[in-house]
């Protein structure tokens, strides 16, 4: 059996374990509510995380580029970029997929026949992590941009009043 089939067979167990890894980054009292299923609007962090991880895992299995699964990654990273995590903590979960996969595959992960595929899979996870870093930075930059825009919007009328603005001449 090749790696892809093995991962497909273990999809649910791997994604669940991966989800638990992310849930584990939150405080104990918060984990229960995050696990609540079927609540896309009242448990949006748990829901977006679950959906995102499933989408990312499927994308990796299909050999999709990180840019093709960016909406799934965005669903998670955009949340973690504003939560109380250091950047490394916010994105660690992506690299942890490698550990989750190896744990789930157990001894099979050591089989030489799978070595090549496993290296390829793990390097795809690394690529995803690098892509996530770009996304994370975009999120943080958006925050700073929003702050600057708010300040500008608050002072625009004052500048206009003081005749310190210029209009584009057509």
Partner 1 sequence: MAKLPKPEELSKIDLTPPKTDWMDTPVVFKEGMFCHGSKPKSLEIVGFPNPREWRPADADWKLPENWKEILLEGIADRLKKYRSFRLFMDICVRCGACADKCHFFIGTGDPKNMPVLRAELIRSVYRKEFTTAGKIFGRMAGARELTVDVLKEWWYYFYQCTECRRCSVFCPYGIDQAEITMIGRELLNLLGLNIEWIAGPVSNCYMKGNHLGLEPHTIVGNLEYMLDDIETVTGKRIKPTFNRKGAEILFVTPSGDLFADPGTYTAMGYMMLFEELGLDYTWSTYASEGGNFGFFTSNEMAKRLNSKIYAEAKRLGVKWILGGECGHMWRVLSQYMDTWNGPADFLEVPKSPITGTVFENAKSMKMVHVAEFTADLIKNNKLKLDPKRNDHLKVTWHDSCNVARGMGMLEEPRYVLKNVVNNFVEMPEDTIREKTFCCGSGTGLNASEDMDLRMKGGFPRANAVKFVADHYGVNMLANVCAIDRATLKALMEYWVPSVGVCGLHELVANALIMKGEKERTTDLRGEPLPGIEAKEEKA
Using rule CB under 8 A, residue 27 touches partner 1: yes
Q: Are 79 and 91 in contact (CB under 8 A)?
A: no
Residues 6+ apart with CB under 8 A from 120: none
Instruction: Write the binding mask 75 to 104 for partner 1: x where contact by CB under 8 A, - elsewhere.
Output: ---xx--xxx-------x---x--x--xx-
Using rule CB under 8 A, residue 141 touches partner 1: no
Among positions 161, 163, 168, 169, the unique one binding partner 1 when judged by CB under 8 A: 161
The encoded tokens of residue 110 equal: 């050591």
Nearer to partner 1 by C-beta: 28 or 170? 28
Using rule CB under 8 A, residue 44 touches partner 1: yes
| C-beta atoms surrounding 55 within 10 Å | 19
DSSP H or E segment with residue 121: helix 112-161
- Rounded to whole angstroms, the Cα distance separating 21 from 24 reads 5
Stretches 7-15, 43-51, 56-64, 116-124: which one binds partner 1 (CB under 8 A)?
43-51
Nearer to partner 1 by C-beta: 35 or 63? 35
């Amino acid at each position: 059996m090749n790696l892809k089939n093995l991962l497909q067979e273990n999809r649910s167990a791997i994604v669940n374990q991966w989800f638990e890894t992310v849930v584990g980054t939150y405080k104990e009292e918060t984990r229960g509510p995050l696990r609540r299923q079927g609540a896309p609007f009242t448990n949006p962090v748990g829901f977006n995380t679950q959906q995102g991880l499933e989408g990312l895992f499927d994308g990796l299995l299909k050999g999709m580029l990180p840019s093709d699964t960016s909406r799934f990654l965005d669903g998670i990273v955009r949340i973690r970029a504003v939560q109380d995590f250091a950047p490394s903590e916010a994105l660690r979960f992506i690299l942890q997929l490698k550990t989750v996969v190896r744990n789930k595959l157990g001894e099979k992960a050591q089989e030489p026949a799978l070595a090549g595929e496993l290296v390829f899979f793990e390097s795809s996870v690394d690529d995803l992590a690098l892509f996530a870093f770009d996304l994370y930075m975009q999120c943080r930059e958006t925050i700073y941009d929003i702050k600057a825009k708010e300040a500008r919007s608050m002072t625009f009328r004052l500048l206009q009043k003081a005749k310190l603005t210029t209009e584009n001449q057509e």
